[in-house]
């Protein structure tokens, strides 16, 4: 249990309700309570009380619940997709691919892999002092995990991290974004139907203060959101030495080399610049194109971006780009576009927020050229449907500019010469880089994903994505024990010198 000081801080919003809006229409679709510090403390006590029994179910028992939930997700596909759409304003396909299908896969993945990833590991050693002893590394659930999530992917980035934490045997309190709390409530309902005991997962709705109260109560915080909030959470967690894992903002570059398949690069730039309304932490946020193919690339991107259908999310295939989710984000996108225009950029497609006659939060899919690093659109996270494209002289300039950022979340490189593409990828300061692709590395749950620089700390997915929810415990067992060993008290000069000789013999024979 984390060392906590008693909190008396209670939310300024306590006993308030959050009116959850459909951001595409501006309609209020639900109300959820704002939980304060005392309520979070009570939830924490409950979570801790039920955790030992959940852990005692073992991997198999927990996997049964998670596998049932995988089936529940497929049986309830339409319900889950629709609730995600209703609170985010995203297109049906965006909700299906990046929320629902991720969730379906993740429940099965962690049901299957928790046990092998957390199985005891036998360790062998080169140390002559420890040879012959049994060395084991094992993983024990930390206890109570706090997950705090953003609004852009209510299943994937909020609920997604609860799954490995639960599979490891922890109980979890999830604080979803105040903008999108409904999906988490629906998924919690599903898990309870699938046999998860009450209290093992709890959803704590509220604003930032609720999140801050959660940090005080848990054994570990898994946070996904902005870099600014990540810093606050890390500072607060430092007070109780509570470990944190942070998945933060990004400004992901795409590099298009002169020998790239221009059609593919242009298609993917538009797809992954505009996907989910550009509100993806690993969106293509800026593009660097080598001079010989720049005009062709821009022409193809422009044509594709112009053809995008933006509108009210509805049935499958009716629109390509939905609304924006978070009203203040529209202001940020507009500010970046206006700043770029004022400094000499040209808008080839879009460039405007939704009209005053239209309710909801809208910004047109936008393509910008003649951009450079004096502009906010190239240096700050835009998190909207914009694609600024910059001409570069060569790969070296592209790499230099790609790395000219405080962020380092993900990146992509396009070249028909895959060895060259990979060589460039290895020089990008980012937690993940795709060659001739973008974004979909996130769907490989075996592959760790985490930010470099100001984009985060720690990883999700893969072994590390579940081991971080555990106490790592090393065990040494001396099986064939002597009553007395030469190095034991009292120290004897002969033994000490003999040991030194032996160590010099073993390690001191190489060249300097």
Minimum CB separation from ligand NAD for residue 113, in Å? 20
CA dist list (Å): 372 to 175, 224, 254, 286, 390: 38, 29, 14, 10, 7
Minimum CB separation from ligand NAD for residue 215, in Å? 6
CA dist list (Å): 453 to 95, 215, 356, 402, 405: 29, 23, 39, 13, 9
DSSP 344-409: T-EEEE---BPPTTS-S--B--EEEES--TTSHHHHS---SSEEEEEEESSHHHHHHHHTSSSEES
**Cα-only R_g, the chain:** 26
Rounded distance between C-alpha atoms, residue 139 and residue 453, angstroms: 28
Residue with smaller CB distance to ligand NAD, 39 or 247? 247
Residue 334 is among the residues annotated as catalytic for this protein? no
Residue 296 is among the residues annotated as catalytic for this protein? no
Residue with smaller CB distance to ligand NAD, 22 or 88? 88
Residue with smaller CB distance to ligand NAD, 68 or 460? 460
Of residues 21, 93, 178, 247, which has the active-site annotation?
A: 247
Residue with smaller CB distance to ligand NAD, 152 or 242? 152
Residues 6+ apart with CB under 8 A from 444: 461
CA dist list (Å): 261 to 66, 159, 257, 297, 374: 41, 37, 9, 10, 29
Minimum CB separation from ligand NAD for residue 216, in Å? 10
Matching residue, tokens 């609860």: 162
220 forms beta bridges with 145
For the packed helices 37-56 and 208-215, what is the interaxial angle rounded to 10 degrees? 50
Minimum CB separation from ligand NAD for residue 58, in Å? 30
Question: Looking at residue 76, what DSSP letter applies?
Answer: T
Minimum CB separation from ligand NAD for residue 214, in Å? 7
Residue nearest to ligand NAD (CB): 211
Residue with smaller CB distance to ligand NAD, 118 or 148? 148
Of residues 93, 209, 216, 281, which has the active-site annotation?
A: 281
Residue with smaller CB distance to ligand NAD, 69 or 148? 148
Minimum CB separation from ligand NAD for residue 54, in Å? 24
Rounded distance between C-alpha atoms, residue 71 and residue 76, angstroms: 8
CB atoms within 10 A of CB 166: 27
Give the DSSP H/E element, type plus range, for residue 32: strand 28-33
Residues 6+ apart with CB under 8 A from 140: 169, 470, 471, 473
Residue with smaller CB distance to ligand NAD, 239 or 295? 239
Minimum CB separation from ligand NAD for residue 151, in Å? 5
Instruction: Return residues touching ligand NAD (CB under 6 A).
Output: 148-152, 157, 175, 177-178, 207-208, 211-212, 215, 224-226, 229, 232-233, 247-250, 281, 326, 381, 383, 409, 451, 456
What is the torsional sign of CA 59, 95, 465, 46?
negative
CA atoms within 13 A of residue 213's CA, in its CB half-sphere: 29
Matching residue, tokens 């509220």: 206
Residue with smaller CB distance to ligand NAD, 88 or 415? 88
Matching residue, tokens 């996997």: 63
Q: Which residues are catalytic?
A: 247, 281
């Amino acid at each position: 249990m984390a060392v906590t000081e008693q909190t008396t801080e209670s939310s300024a919003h306590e006993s308030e309700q959050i009116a959850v809006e459909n951001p595409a229409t501006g309609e209020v679709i639900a109300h959820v309570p704002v939980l304060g510090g005392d309520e979070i403390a009570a939830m924490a006590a409950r979570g801790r009380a039920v955790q030992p029994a959940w852990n005692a179910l073992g991997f198999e028992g927990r996997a049964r619940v998670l596998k049932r939930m995988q089936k529940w997700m497929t049986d309830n596909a339409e319900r889950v997709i629709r609730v995600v759409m209703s609170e985010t304003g995203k297109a049906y396909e965006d909700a299906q691919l990046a929320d629902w299908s991720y969730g379906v896969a993740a429940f099965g993945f962690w049901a299957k892999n928790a046990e092998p990833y957390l199985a005891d590991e036998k360790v062998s050693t080169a140390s002559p002092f420890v040879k012959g002893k049994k060395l084991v590394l094992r993983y024990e659930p930390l206890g109570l995990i706090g997950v705090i999530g953003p609004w852009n992917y209510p299943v994937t980035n909020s609920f997604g991290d609860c799954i490995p934490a639960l599979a490891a045997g922890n109980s979890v309190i999830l604080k979803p974004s105040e903008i999108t709390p409904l999906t988490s409530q629906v998924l919690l309902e599903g898990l309870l139907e699938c046999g998860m005991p009450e209290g093992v997962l709890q959803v704590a709705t509220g604003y930032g203060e609720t999140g801050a109260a959660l940090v005080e109560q848990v054994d570990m915080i898994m946070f996904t959101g902005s870099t600014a909030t990540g810093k606050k959470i890390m500072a607060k967690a430092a007070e109780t030495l509570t470990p944190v894992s942070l998945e933060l903002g990004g400004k992901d570059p795409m590099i298009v080399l002169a020998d790239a398949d221009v059609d593919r690069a242009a298609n993917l730039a538009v797809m992954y610049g505009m996907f989910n309304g550009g509100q993806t932490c690993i969106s293509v946020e800026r593009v660097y194109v080598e001079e010989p193919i720049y005009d062709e690339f821009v022409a193809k991107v422009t044509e594709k971006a112009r053809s995008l259908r933006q509108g009210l999310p509805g049935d499958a295939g009716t629109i390509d780009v939905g609304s924006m989710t978070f009203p203040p984000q529209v202001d940020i996108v507009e500010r970046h576009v206006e700043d770029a225009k004022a400094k000499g950029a040209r808008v080839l497609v879009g460039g405007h927020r939704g009209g005053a006659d239209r309710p909801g939060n809208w910004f047109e899919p936008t393509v910008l050229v003649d951009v450079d690093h004096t502009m906010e659109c190239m240096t700050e996270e835009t998190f909207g449907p914009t694609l600024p494209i910059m001409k570069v002289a060569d790969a070296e300039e592209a790499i230099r500019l790609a790395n000219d950022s405080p962020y380092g979340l993900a990146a992509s490189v396009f070249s028909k010469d895959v060895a060259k593409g990979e060589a460039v990828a290895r020089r990008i300061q980012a937690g993940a880089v795709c060659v001739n692709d973008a974004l979909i590395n996130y769907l490989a749950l075996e592959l760790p994903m985490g930010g470099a620089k100001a984009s985060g700390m720690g990883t999700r997915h893969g072994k590390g994505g579940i081991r971080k929810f555990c106490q790592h415990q090393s065990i040494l067992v001396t099986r064939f024990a002597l009553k007395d060993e030469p190095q034991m008290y009292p120290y004897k000069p002969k033994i000490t010198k003999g040991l030194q000789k032996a160590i010099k013999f073993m390690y001191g024979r190489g060249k300097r």
